[in-house]
Structure 1
Amino acid sequence: MKDFLELIQSLFEDVLFVPFHALRELELESWFAANALNWVFMLIAFVAFIFWMKQLKKFNDNNEENRDAKAHGFLGKNAEV
């Protein structure tokens, strides 16, 4: 059992954490390079947010949404108007 646990430890320390160790070394040289992946993810999120807002505006301009106070059944008994 001890050998199995040491195998798991070795797997994580020698194989799976290698990219994290490389990022830790890179961070000492260049903070921006070490965080480049984070910047890419923030850019993707920003583009997705802008796309979503454009889609919402398009549907809002077409008046496709039912904006009655009782538009949904869980808001009251007489939801169907």
Structure 2
Amino acid sequence: MESFFRAIEDLFVNVLFIPLDALRFMHSWWGASTLNWIFMIIGAVAFVYWMLQLKKYNDSGEERKDVSGHSFL
């Protein structure tokens, strides 16, 4: 079982994280943080999209908002 976990460690450390190790040794903060900025932009776009979808659903008036709208109330 130990060799199985060593193989997983080897896969992540020596194979999958090679691009991140290359970014770590850049001398520019902007260059090294490009991946983080890309993820932040994707998250912000997804958040705005989700809020617009919620607003569209809220404006359509499909949801029952009275007190007896749910059985547990």
Taking only aligned residues, the RMSD between alpha carbons, in angstroms, comes to 2.5
1:56 aligned partner: 54
- Rounded to whole Å, the distance in 2 between the matches of 1:12 and 1:61 is 47
User: Counterpart of 2:63 in 1: which secondary structure?
Assistant: coil
- Alpha-carbon offset, residue 17 of structure 1: 4.3
Greater Rg, structure 1 or structure 2? 1
- Alpha-carbon offset, residue 16 of structure 1: 4.5
TM-score (norm 2): 0.69
Gap regions ≥5 residues in structure 2? none
1:22 aligned partner: 22
- Alpha-carbon offset, residue 11 of structure 1: 5.8
Alignment CA distance shift 1:41-1:60 (3 Å): same
TM-score (norm 1): 0.64
Gap regions ≥5 residues in structure 1? 76-81
